[in-house]
Amino acid sequence: MIFIVVKYQVKPEHVDTFPDAVAAFTAATRAEEGNLFFEWSRSLEDPNEYVLVEGFKDGTGEAHVNSPHFAAGLEAMGPLLAATPQIVSRQVDGEGWDEMGELKVG
C-alpha cells in the first residue's frame, strides 16, 4: 500500500471554506479504483493547517497523480495555500487500517 500524509497551510481567510474548495477533488479521489482511504482532518494545534491521510493500492499511485481531477484539485488549492504542502509518502505492508495492538477496547 502507498501511505501518504500531507500537511496544508491554508491562508487564514480561506481556512473555513477550504473543505468546500477540495470537495470535488476529494469525491473523485475516493471514487478511484485504487483508493483505500482519503481523509481530511484539521490540526488541533494550528487552526490554519489541514492534514490529509491517503492510502492507495500498490501500483495505482501513478494513475492518481495523472488524473484530471488531481490536476484540478491542485489548481483549486494553490491560491488558498500560505505555503508549499509538506508530504510523507511511503510504501507499507497491508491494505488499510489494522487494530492497534497496544490498546484494545471491549
Q: What is the pLDDT of residue 56?
A: 95
- Give me the pLDDT at residue 60, please: 87
Q: How far apart (Å, rounded) are the C-alpha atoms in residues 39 and 32?
A: 14
Is residue 98 one of the residues assigned to a domain? no
Is 16 a member of any domain? yes
Taking residues 6-11, what's their average pLDDT? 98
- The answer to the question of residue 105 being in a domain is no
pLDDT tens-digit series, residues 43-85: 999 999 999 999 999 988 888 989 999 999 999 999 999 999 9
- Per the structure, the count of domains in the chain is 1
Residue 8 forms part of a structural domain: yes
Domain presence at residue 31: yes
Q: Are 32 and 57 in contact (CB under 8 A)?
A: no
Residue 87: domain span: 2-91
CATH number at residue 11: 3.30.70.100
The whole-number pLDDT of residue 29 equals 96
The whole-number pLDDT of residue 71 equals 94
pLDDT-based confidence at 28, cuts 50/70/90?
very high
Mean pLDDT of the chain: 95
